[in-house]
């Protein structure tokens, strides 16, 4: 038995005890190495993709700090981890591009350890490609086993050669592992994992697995602890938060969860991402109306305005239903900011279909919209559909949509000039050191004179000028 096998034999079977054990063992390795090098061991995590991944990275960093690493933003670190995204092909291309750069860094420092995790690693073809063409990568794991980082990295240090650990899926939710928050005053909180919707273009259900809700007690306990630790704003995270709780032993609706979260002392603001239109209940609209702690922002992805395309997308609502829902929400909560995601160039999209999308954009008047060019994802039903739309047709449509969206959003965003609203200050302005940057309840940013002591505070700000997508403002005297 070598030392790794002995460590393995002594490890507890149950989680999180097993990972706590491996964090200690990894720490011994880290301490030994930093004595050898005569300096602390650094670790750098780069995150691609959505808030889920950002949250996962905070958990991964929490484990690394517990194991004795020093956090660094610099990729010339002793341990570099890329937490990847594969929702569109350009996310993948960015990772491959940066791997070339990491290879050059590793040639200068052969002791460097390179790891890849996240959604891209759940695709077998990606892992094959890395094994074949990126031999300098030391460790690969997926989305279902991030909680095992300490164990996997310990294995990596003890045994030579690439370590690969990808799980097809899991029903396990491991609680009570460390996390290192990026912001002291706000935090994402997972309320569910995975997705069951299988929109025909989307790879997320394949790489994130089936939908699993966390127990409400675990969510509430985490948020209470965050609030005690100074967090004033939480973002509840799930691919489709509106179906929260349906699969729990004691089912609970998302609206009910929101009510309970809103009761937590010290917590001032609640956000959530993302809402699927098909599951948005009247109860949710009611709770949002009743409860001032719930932010005046709803992200409600449209994807397409054409009922024909929505059907092919498997979105389970049509144009009329979406318009009705948006109108109802805007009527019930007039100060709410409504934002969306739109895909251009889904297979079979005609000029008429695209016009339907523009029509919805003009009628709803979104505060802002993320627009995407359809990206073919291997293994999804849409990838096998005939009549994929050629680039030269998609690009002009994309530009037309973007122009429309931007024009409307600058008009909509300007409407609150002269009003006073509360901003949560997130940091110093990156261009002007005399200004700070804050986020309004409706998710729009405001820049105003202030200093570092304002960061993390909720401050009433008079909105003096609209700059299209954000405001300039001043503190009240
Ligand atoms: N669960 C969320 C979305 C997660 S992915 C929801 O259903 O709303 C974020 C956005 O990426 C999606 O809303 C969609 O607009 C876009 N997207 C997903 N797959 C895509 C693809 N194959 N090509 C282009 N955009 C895509
Ligand atoms: Fe993808 Fe649809 Fe699930 Fe959103 S709801 S993650 S778009 S499959
Ligand atoms: Fe990307 Fe995975 Fe999020 S594919 S968008 S990081 S769930």
Whole-number Å distance between alpha carbons of 58 and 246: 27
Instruction: Please tell me the distance between residue 54's alpha carbon and the centre of ligand 3 in angstroms.
Output: 10
In the numeric block, which tokens belong to residue 175? Answer: 């609680």
**Closest ligand relative to 198 C-alpha:** 2
User: In this predicted structure, what is the pLDDT of residue 1?
Assistant: 66
Q: For residue 203, which atom of ligand 2 is closest to its CA?
A: 1
Whether residue 86 has its Cβ less than 6 Å from ligand 1: no
Instruction: Please tell me the distance between residue 56's alpha carbon and the centre of ligand 3 in angstroms.
Output: 11
In the numeric block, which tokens belong to residue 199? Answer: 């929109």
**Closest ligand relative to 91 C-alpha:** 3
Query: Strands 212-213 and 163-165, how do they pair?
Result: unpaired
Whether residue 243 has its Cβ less than 6 Å from ligand 1: no
Whole-number Å distance between alpha carbons of 99 and 136: 9
**Closest ligand relative to 86 C-alpha:** 3
Give the rounded distance of the alpha carbon of 390 from its chain centre.
30
Whether residue 198 has its Cβ less than 6 Å from ligand 2: yes
Q: For residue 52, which atom of ligand 3 is closest to its CA?
A: 3
The set of residues, in sequence order, having a beta carbon less than 8 Å from that of 18 and lying 6+ positions away, is 11, 12, 151
Q: Which of 205, 243, 343 to mutate to test the pocket of ligand 1 (most atoms within 8 A of CB)?
A: 343
**Closest ligand relative to 382 C-alpha:** 1
Count of other CB atoms within 10 angstroms of residue 418: 10
Whether residue 88 has its Cβ less than 6 Å from ligand 1: yes
Instruction: Please tell me the distance between residue 333's alpha carbon and the centre of ligand 3 in angstroms.
Output: 30
Whether residue 83 has its Cβ less than 6 Å from ligand 1: no
Residue 115 β-bridge partners? 81, 139
Q: For residue 341, which atom of ligand 1 is closest to its CA?
A: 15
SS3 state of residue 459: strand
Residues having CB within 6 Å of any atom of ligand 3:
49-50, 52-53, 85-87, 119, 204, 207-208
Q: Whose CA is nearest to atom 12 of ligand 1?
A: 341
Q: Whose CA is nearest to atom 3 of ligand 3?
A: 50
Whether residue 202 has its Cβ less than 6 Å from ligand 1: yes
Whole-number Å distance between alpha carbons of 294 and 288: 6
Q: Which of 119, 192, 204, 316 to mutate to test the pocket of ligand 2 (most atoms within 8 A of CB)?
A: 204
User: In this predicted structure, what is the pLDDT of residue 332?
Assistant: 96
Instruction: Please tell me the distance between residue 202's alpha carbon and the centre of ligand 1 in angstroms.
Output: 6
Whole-number Å distance between alpha carbons of 156 and 158: 6
User: In this predicted structure, what is the pLDDT of residue 72?
Assistant: 97
Instruction: Please tell me the distance between residue 91's alpha carbon and the centre of ligand 3 in angstroms.
Output: 9
Q: Whose CA is nearest to atom 4 of ligand 2?
A: 239
Residues in the chain with pLDDT values less than 50: none
Whole-number Å distance between alpha carbons of 162 and 32: 22
Say if residue 270 is exposed, middle or buried (CB neighbours under 10 Å; 0-12, 13-18, 19+): buried
Whether residue 471 has its Cβ less than 6 Å from ligand 1: no
Question: Which helix (H) or strand (E) element contains residue 427?
Answer: strand 420-428
Q: Whose CA is nearest to atom 13 of ligand 1?
A: 341
Going by C-alpha positions, the residue among 346, 408, 405, 409 that lies closest to residue 380 is: 346
Instruction: Please tell me the distance between residue 205's alpha carbon and the centre of ligand 2 in angstroms.
Output: 7
**Closest ligand relative to 345 C-alpha:** 1
Count of other CB atoms within 10 angstroms of residue 59: 18
Q: In 159-281, which ranges are continuous DSSP H helix? A: 204-208, 216-228, 254-262
């Amino acid at each position: 038995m070598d030392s790794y096998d002995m460590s393995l034999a002594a490890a507890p079977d149950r989680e999180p005890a097993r990972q706590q054990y491996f964090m200690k063992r990894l720490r011994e390795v880290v301490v030994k190495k930093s004595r050898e090098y005569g300096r602390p061991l650094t670790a750098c995590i780069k995150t691609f993709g959505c808030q889920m991944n950002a949250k996962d990275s905070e958990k991964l960093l929490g484990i690394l700090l517990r194991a004795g690493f020093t956090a660094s933003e610099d990729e010339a670190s002793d341990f570099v981890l890329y937490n990847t995204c594969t929702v569109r092909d350009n996310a993948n291309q960015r990772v491959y591009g940066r791997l070339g750069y990491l290879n050059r860094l590793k040639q200068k420092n052969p002791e460097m350890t390179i790891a890849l995790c996240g959604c891209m690693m759940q695709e077998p073809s990606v892992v094959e490609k890395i094994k074949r063409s990126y031999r300098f990568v030391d460790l690969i794991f997926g989305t279902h086993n991030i909680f095992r980082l300490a164990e996997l990295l310990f294995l990596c240090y003890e045994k030579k050669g690439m370590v690969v650990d990808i799980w097809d899926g899991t029903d396990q939710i491991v609680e009570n592992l460390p996390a290192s928050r990026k912001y002291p005053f706000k935090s994402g909180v997972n309320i569910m994992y995975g997705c069951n919707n299988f929109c025909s273009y989307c790879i997320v259900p394949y790489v994130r697995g089936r939908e699993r809700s966390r127990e409400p007690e675990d969510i509430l306990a985490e948020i209470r602890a965050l609030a005690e630790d100074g967090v004033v704003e939480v973002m509840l995270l799930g691919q489709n938060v509106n179906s929260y709780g349906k699969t729990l032993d004691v089912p609970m609706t998302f609206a009910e969860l929101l009510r309970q979260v809103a009761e937590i002392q010290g917590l001032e603001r609640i956000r959530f991402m993302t809402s699927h239109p098909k599951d948005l209940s009247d109860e949710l609209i009611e709770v949002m109306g009743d409860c001032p702690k719930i932010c005046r922002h709803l992200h409600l992805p449209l994807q397409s305005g054409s009922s024909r395309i929505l059907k092919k997308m498997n979105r389970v609502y049509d144009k009329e239903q979406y318009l009705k829902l948006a109108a109802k929400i805007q009527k019930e909560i007039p100060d709410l900011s409504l934002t969306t995601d739109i895909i251009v160039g889904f297979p079979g999209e005609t000029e008429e279909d695209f016009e339907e999308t523009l029509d919805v954009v003009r009628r709803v008047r979104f505060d802002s919209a993320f627009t995407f060019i359809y990206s073919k994802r291997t293994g999804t039903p849409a990838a096998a559909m005939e009549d994929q739309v050629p680039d030269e047709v998609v690009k002009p449509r994309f530009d037309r949509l973007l122009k429309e969206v931007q024009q409307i959003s600058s008009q909509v965003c300007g409407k609150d000039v002269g009003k006073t609203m509360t901003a949560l200050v997130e940091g110093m302005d990156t261009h002007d050191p005399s200004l700070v940057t804050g986020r309004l309840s409706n998710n729009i940013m405001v820049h105003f004179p202030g200093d570092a002591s304002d960061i993390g505070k909720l401050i009433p700000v008079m909105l003096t000028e609209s700059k299209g997508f954000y405001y300039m403002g001043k503190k009240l005297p």
